[in-house]
């Protein structure tokens, strides 16, 4: 095994006491085994001598080592892994060890890549982030994956400070927004891994650099503003992953892109030494992917559109999805067979990957981290995934929420109510209200596609369903997407009201959601409260305009929103069981806060968001990688940036002051 054999990897993927997954992509079929041991020792604890390999193209093989030990791997100890090559006399681990030294894949003092499994109830430290675009230089000259690598290098053996996992929340590749210089690399690399060029339906078989927009709009139905160099063939999507994860896939890296390629060895080392979990957002497939039911129907109706999305999803499954939780896909033989035999039956392959509904998964950490699929399970105001057209999307249909809630219920049995559950949503649930208002305003005149009008606030009914589903919980939300970072605390309370009594009795992670109150009349007492901590890190390498930073200053309010039993809204505060409501003075000269009883207010719900205040970090521009530390009810958070650690904050769910 030499550097020239490897397309990308090794990547460290799902890791738990009963299973360690390691991913490797090579130019020829490997005959290898994957092994795990205590770092610094000689004896291996377990092997996988029959790894799962998919021949994706003529010259690309993606292999997953799934190491299941006879006894659980130890927690709280530094572990190492190796890859052995079969020889005539057995297994030889030396070539991989040589490769590790040559490529500097291990940290100082270590002979092999290392990782650790978190002890139960020990603090969880995690990296998280999203949006890594090769050619962006506006947000900074460096890739903040390199800053994550630097931090791990400082704490290789200090497991109390070394992150246990890395969660990537979308746009790990940009399939649509591709620089001409990158596209030339993509085409050359795709032909290297698949000399026989994939035949495409319809026109566009020989489109080159910068010449794809017209064909993809007309014959594929794509709506991105950046279609000139959009990925089309499977080999192109795969080539893009190679360029993102291994500098050696680049042929004479252009000087103009050195700000990215110089950081690739550090990013590669980080992903080889930190268990990495990934979910898609739109750019992993195409901008606006499934933004609306209309979009999905129109792209599916076009042969080239079906092919492009299917190719993107095949590449996602191979490079990102499968390694998150192999058991979710069974033995995966059927999907692998479809990929390997796709040229003979592309229609079946396209339909199978369009219909996969197993993208959600849970990271086996403590607390667990649950990744939501907000792209492939979308619906609209009537909860129906087949209902059309024009309204902002429900990011998840009711049936998909039901399935998610069943999984969360199972995961949170005997879970202390003070401990937060952690959800990854590609797009933030709670953002800057002024930016969201501007997006709504622009979309009214220019359409939903122009500025991706698909955030959680775009469909208030869906947002309120989510708020109700989380009743009685503390929730940490990890998000990205926006190309800026921030934090926000949100409190949502439901009261015993006529509206509540008439509402449905759904289930939540704690069991029955809003049990029916006793008595004949509403008491307007609080029935349930949920506290959210929204943490948003974006972008690892991308940029948002400075204008949005200016707009963000108009967000935030010292009061919350009270909705009464008649559906009317008022502004005020609810603290320590007391309402103070913003009311106009009798002489009409101004407004003041007036204390009112619950019977006077007749509250149905109370919503309070804090953002860019004493407890929350404001708009952070430039490249960043989030780092969060959770222990019981306390949360610490900061951003790694090219300039150092920024916006350090902490919260405690047992103290209401952060949410009042």
| Residues 600-628, mean pLDDT to the nearest whole number | 96
- Asked if the peptide bond before residue 289 counts as cis, ω within 30 degrees of 0, the response is no
Residue 153 exposed, middle or buried by CB count within 10 Å (0-12, 13-18, 19+): middle
Residue-level pLDDT at 459: 74
Mean predicted confidence (pLDDT) in 395-414 = 92
pLDDT at residue 385 greater than cutoff 80: no
**For residue 546, what pLDDT band results from cuts at 50, 70 and 90?**
confident
Residue pair 288/449 in contact (Cβ under 8 Å)? The answer is: yes
Cβ–Cβ < 8 Å for 626, 637? yes
**Is 507 a residue whose pLDDT tops 60?**
no
Integer angstrom CA distances of residue 310 from 249, 288, 289: 24, 15, 12
Q: Which two tokens stand for residue 440?
A: 């709504």
The first and second tokens of residue 173, run together, are 């590749």
- The mean per-residue pLDDT over the stretch 505-519 comes to 61
Contact 131, 538 (CB under 8 A): yes
264-273 and 145-154 helices cross at what angle (nearest 10)?
60
Cα 624 to Cα 505: distance, rounded to the nearest angstrom: 42
Decide: residue 584, CB within 10 A, 0-12 exposed, 13-18 middle, 19+ buried.
exposed
Question: At CA 488, angle to CA 659 and CA 559, rounded to 5?
Answer: 50
Cβ-Cβ contacts under 8 Å for 565 (sequence gap 6 or more): 497, 498, 499, 522, 602, 603, 604
pLDDT at 457 over 60: yes
pLDDT for res 514: 56
pLDDT band at 382 (very low <50, low <70, confident <90, very high): very low
Tokens 């550090």 belong to: 266
* Predicted local distance difference test score (pLDDT) of residue 519: 82
pLDDT class for 281, splitting at 50, 70, 90? Answer: very high
Q: What is the pLDDT of residues 570-587, one digit of tens each?
A: 999 999 899 999 998 888
How much is the pLDDT for 505? 59
Predicted confidence at residue 398, as pLDDT, reads 87
Lowest-pLDDT choice from 8-12, 496-500, 606-610: 496-500
* Confidence at residue 557, expressed as pLDDT on a 0 to 100 scale: 87
Q: What is the predicted pLDDT for the residue at 129?
A: 98
What's this model's pTM, rounded to 2 decimal places? Answer: 0.95
- For the chain, give the mean pLDDT: 92
Q: What is the pLDDT of residue 454?
A: 63
What pLDDT does residue 272 have? Answer: 99
Domains delineated in the chain: 1-122 (2.60.40)
pLDDT digits (tens, 9 = 90+) for 189-215: 999 999 999 999 987 666 789 999 999
Residues 6+ apart with CB under 8 A from 476: 420, 421, 422, 423, 532, 533, 535, 628, 630, 635
Q: Is 230 in contact with 179 (CB distance < 8 Å)?
A: no
Give residue 446's pLDDT.
Answer: 54
Whole-number pLDDT of residue 388:
46
pLDDT in the model for residue 377: 92
Instruction: Say which residues have a Cβ less than 8 Å from residue 517's Cβ, sequence separation at least 6.
Output: 496, 500, 501, 523, 527
Q: Is it the case that residue 525 has pLDDT exceeding 60? A: yes
pLDDT (mean) for 475-502: 95
Residue 298 has pLDDT above 80, yes or no: yes
> In degrees rounded to 5, what are phi and psi of residue 324?
-65, -40
Mean pLDDT of 21-50: 98
* pLDDT of 394: 82
pLDDT at position 654 is 95
Distance CA 236, CA 249 (A): 13
Mean pLDDT on 412-437: 90
């Amino acid at each position: 095994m030499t550097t020239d054999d490897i397309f990308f990897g090794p990547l460290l993927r799902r890791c738990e006491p009963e299973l360690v997954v390691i991913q490797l992509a090579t130019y020829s079929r490997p005959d290898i085994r994957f092994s795990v041991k205590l770092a610094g020792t000689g004896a291996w604890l377990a092997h996988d001598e029959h790894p799962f390999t998919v021949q994706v193209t003529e010259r690309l093989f993606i292999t997953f080592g799934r190491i299941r030990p006879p006894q659980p791997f130890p927690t709280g100890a530094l572990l190492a892994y190796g890859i052995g090559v079969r020889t005539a006399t057995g297994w030889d681990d030396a070539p991989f060890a040589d490769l590790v030294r040559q490529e500097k894949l291990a940290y100082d003092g270590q002979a092999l890549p290392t990782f650790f499994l978190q002890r139960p109830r020990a603090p969880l430290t995690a990296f998280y982030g999203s949006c890594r675009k090769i050619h962006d230089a506006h947000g900074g000259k460096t890739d903040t994956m390199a800053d994550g690598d630097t931090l791990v290098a400082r704490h290789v053996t200090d497991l109390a400070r070394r992150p246990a996992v890395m969660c990537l929340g979308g746009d790990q590749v940009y399939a649509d927004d591709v620089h001409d210089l990158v596209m030339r690399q993509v085409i050359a690399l795709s032909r290297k891994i698949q000399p026989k060029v994939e035949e495409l339906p319809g026109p566009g078989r020989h489109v080159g650099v910068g010449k794809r927009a017209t064909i993809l709009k007309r014959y594929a139905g794509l709506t991105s503003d950046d279609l000139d160099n959009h990925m089309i063939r499977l080999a192109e999507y795969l080539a893009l992953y190679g360029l993102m994860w291994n500098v050696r896939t680049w042929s004479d890296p252009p000087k103009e892109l050195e700000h990215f390629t110089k950081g690739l060895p550090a990013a590669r080392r980080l992903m080889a030494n930190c268990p990495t979990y990934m979910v898609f957002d739109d750019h992993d497939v195409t901008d606006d992917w499934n933004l609306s039911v209309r979009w999905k129907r129109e792209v599916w109706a076009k042969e080239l559109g079906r092919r492009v999305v299917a190719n993107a999803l095949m590449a996602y499954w191979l490079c990102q999805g499968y390694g998150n939780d192999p058991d979710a896909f069974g033995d995966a033989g059927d999907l692998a067979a479809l990929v390997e035999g796709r040229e003979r039956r592309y229609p079946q392959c396209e339909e199978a990957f369009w219909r996969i509904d197993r993208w959600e998964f849970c990271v086996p950490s403590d607390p667990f981290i649950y990744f939501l699929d907000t792209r492939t399970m979308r619906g609209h105001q009537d909860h129906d995934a087949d209902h059309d057209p024009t309204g902002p999307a429900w990011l998840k249909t009711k049936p998909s929420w039901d399935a998610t809630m069943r999984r969360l219920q199972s995961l949170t049995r005997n879970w202390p109510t003070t401990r937060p559950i952690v959800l990854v949503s590609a797009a933030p649930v709670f953002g800057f209200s002024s930016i969201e208002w501007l997006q709504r305003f622009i979309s009214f005149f220019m359409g939903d596609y122009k500025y991706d009008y698909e955030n959680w606030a775009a469909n208030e009914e869906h947002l309120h369903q989510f708020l109700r589903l989380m009743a009685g919980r503390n929730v940490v939300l990890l998000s990205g997407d926006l190309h800026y970072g921030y934090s926000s605390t949100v409190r949502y309370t439901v009261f015993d009201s006529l509206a509540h009594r008439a509402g449905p009795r759904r289930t939540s992670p704690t069991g029955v959601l809003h049990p029916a109150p006793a008595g004949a009349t509403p008491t307007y007492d609080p029935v349930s409260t949920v506290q959210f901590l929204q943490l948003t890190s974006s972008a690892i390498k991308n940029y948002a305009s400075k204008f949005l930073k200016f707009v963000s200053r108009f967000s935030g309010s010292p009061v919350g929103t009270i909705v009464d039993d008649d559906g009317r809204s008022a502004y005020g505060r609810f603290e320590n069981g007391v309402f103070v409501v913003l009311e106009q003075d009798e002489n009409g000269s101004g407004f003041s806060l007036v204390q009112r009883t619950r019977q006077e207010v007749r509250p149905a719900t109370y919503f309070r968001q804090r953002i860019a205040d004493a407890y929350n970090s404001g708009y952070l521009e430039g490249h960043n990688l989030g780092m969060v530390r959770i222990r019981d009810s306390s949360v610490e958070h900061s951003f790694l940036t090219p300039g150092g650690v920024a916006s350090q904050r902490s919260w405690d769910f047992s103290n209401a002051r952060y949410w009042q």
